[in-house]
Structure 1
């Protein structure tokens, strides 16, 4: 079942690019989160989306939010992607697709992993869910809801 606006962020853990175990509970009650699922590192639209989040990162931080990108790529792939494009935010590996299932992110066009963004308020409640294969519009939508 897909997560929707008003739902509490489920607790989850995954490996980040530093080899550390990211735990969502470390953020709940402390800051907002922008969690975006994307299909694959190094692809055209995914790279444009990641770079757009990078270019707006300080604005997200000023609004009290941390950005978390999630795909099924390996930690090693994320390390290269993060380094190549100087991405300042957290990337998590979901190679077993448990996080996609937990959030209810379905494939687009039957085979392409979905591109979906969740904005979670400081208290751990989902305040926005946005699904579009267009990458950069996710940044605009997330900033707009955080500014409210």
Structure 2
């Protein structure tokens, strides 16, 4: 019992970004190897930033394809969709091409941005968390679910509709 409790405690992040927090600014390479600087889009449009475990895994692919299939709804709200995982630029390029992904994928290979957001792990699996951020850079919605990948899209769209 103690070891399970310890593992669960050790996997939780103490500083996870929450609703009402300012989003931290960061720079990462996108699927084309171009440096994306969050500061260049803050104040211009709402953002949907989702962290996911790994390219080409079944649940992550389902999630990415759901964001792709709903892309027009996101653009209707003026929102920019950004997916982040620890996979490298080449993996993201292959993943985006294979599934015709029409949004930005960022490579957080050293996990610094994941840590900056405080995205929790479940044992050794990197967390799946989606943040909706308003034009002012404030988190207005957060959804955390490893298994229910498609609900990340419906939750994000519902949050954008309320803005």
**TM-score interval (norm. to shorter):** over 0.9
Match of 1:88 in 2: 102
Q: Give the number of aligned pairs.
A: 147
Matches within 5 A, 1:57-96: 57-96=71-110
Q: TM-score, normalised by structure 1?
A: 0.98
Note the alpha carbon deviations across 1:15-69, whole angstroms, 9 max, x for none.
Answer: 0011111001111110000000000000000000000000000100110100000
Match of 1:31 in 2: 45
Look up the SS of the partner of 2:75 in the other structure: helix
Output the CA distance in 2 between the equivalents of 1:101 and 1:62.
31
Q: TM-score, normalised by structure 2?
A: 0.89
The CA RMSD measured in Å over matched residues stands at: 0.5
Look up the SS of the partner of 2:60 in the other structure: helix
> Pick from 35, 38, 55: which aligns with 1:21?
35
Match of 2:12 in 1: none
Output the CA distance in 2 between the equivalents of 1:56 and 1:144.
12
Match of 2:9 in 1: none
Output the CA distance in 1 between the equivalents of 2:106 and 2:117.
14
Look up the SS of the partner of 2:121 in the other structure: coil
Runs of 4+ in 1 over 2 A off after TM superposition: none
Output the CA distance in 1 between the equivalents of 2:54 and 2:30.
16
> Pick from 43, 66, 79: which aligns with 1:52?
66
> Pick from 133, 154, 160: which aligns with 1:120?
133
